[in-house]
């Protein structure tokens, strides 16, 4: 898919490349933070809201929330982005992402919330 295509940019589906989230309309941004702590707190809250609907929680390891939080802290500390996807009950899928801006894969992409 062409990330320059307006249909791709406005799609509610996650992009193939993390940096392409920065091309999404500002209305698709759930939150903007300036600290790793705030971003990780938001991500953990999103996971907590999804947890009761996880289709196969046993396949995610002994403590998937802690694993997600620790990975997010590590990646965001180094100015990288974090993305996770989870199958939910009823053949649904949820994608969670915290996208660092500027993104080192596409430093020319603007930060949509700034």
pLDDT value of residue 104 = 85
The first and second tokens of residue 7, run together, are 């249909």
Residue 45, φ and ψ in degrees, nearest 5 = -65, -40
Considering the entire predicted model, what is its pTM?
Answer: 0.84
**Torsion region of 37: left, alpha or beta (phi above 0 gives left; psi -120 to 50 gives alpha):** alpha
Query: What is the reported pLDDT for 67?
Result: 94
User: Model confidence over 42-92: pLDDT tens digits?
Assistant: 999 999 999 999 999 999 999 999 999 999 999 998 888 999 999 999 999
pLDDT over 70 (residue 113): no
Average pLDDT, the chain: 89
Domains of the chain, by residue range, sit at: 32-114
Question: Which pLDDT score, from 0 to 100, does residue 1 have?
Answer: 57
């Amino acid at each position: 898919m062409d990330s320059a295509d307006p249909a791709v940019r406005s799609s509610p589906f996650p992009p193939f490349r993390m940096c392409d989230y920065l091309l999404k309309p500002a209305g698709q941004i759930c939150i903007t933070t300036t600290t790793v702590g705030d971003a990780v707190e938001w991500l953990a809250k999103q996971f907590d809201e999804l947890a009761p609907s996880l289709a196969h929680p046993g396949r995610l390891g002994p403590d998937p929330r802690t694993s997600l939080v620790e990975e997010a802290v590590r990646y965001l500390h180094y100015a990288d982005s974090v993305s996770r996807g989870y199958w939910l009950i009823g053949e649904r899928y949820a994608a969670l992402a915290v996208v660092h801006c500027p993104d080192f894969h596409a430093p020319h992409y603007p930060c949509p919330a700034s």
